[in-house]
Structure 1
Amino acid sequence: MSNNDQQSYLANDKMVDMAFITSFTGLTDKWFYKLIKDGEFPKPIKLGRSSRWMQSEVEAWVQNRISQSRQ
């Protein structure tokens, strides 16, 4: 991916916090922190004391879980 493509991709992808993730999925933050610890959910991007995730990674994880459950 070229630098311009990457910049365009990032401009269209939002950084989301745990409140967004729990609202989006209906699961608790404790559950997600366990999944992160177990390597089953994307690691956060640390911004000082804050943690953020790329929305596309969260959505891809959800889509993957849906696909796995329907096999």
Structure 2
Amino acid sequence: MDATQTSHSNSIPLAPSTLVPVLEDQFLSMAFITQLTGLTDKWFYKLIQDGKFPQPIKFGRSSRWLKSEVESWIRQKIYDSRKTEDGY
């Protein structure tokens, strides 16, 4: 998605993201994501359930997330938190 597209859950424009070829991407565990953000796994699973965080990729019983998708989500959170009422 680019800055002109919107997420499916609202009409707020998404921050630009970089598309990374899957074989050049990395898989992240929930433990890594929670350590990186300081937020709990319970909070992330609620976001996933609400469609506000990328769905996990299942490898048997293990769940992993693409680093590029997590980075894009973080970038979007930064973008959203720094917007003014004028949209800049």
What is the TM-score normalised by the length of structure 2? 0.69
Partner SS, residue 19 of structure 1: helix
CA distance in 2, matches of 1:27, 1:65: 13
Whose relative contact order is higher, 1 or 2, with alpha carbons under 8 Å and at least 6 apart? 1
Point out 4+ residue stretches in structure 1 off by more than 2 angstroms: none
Tell me the equivalent position of 2:45.
33
Q: What is the RMSD computed on CA atoms of the aligned residues?
A: 1.2
Code of the residue aligned with 1:62 in structure 2: it is: I
Between Structure 1 and Structure 2, how many residues are aligned? 64
Aligned to 2:62, which of 24, 37, 50?
Answer: 50
Deviations 1:27-64 (A, max 9, x none): 10000000000000000001100000000100100010
CA distance in 2, matches of 1:57, 1:50: 17
Aligned to 1:24, which of 36, 48, 58?
Answer: 36
Task: Please list every run of 5 or more consecutive structure 1 residues that lacks an aligned counterpart in the other structure.
Answer: 1-7
Instruction: Please tell me whether residue 10 in structure 1 is matched to residue 11 in structure 2.
Output: no
Instruction: Name the % identity.
Output: 61
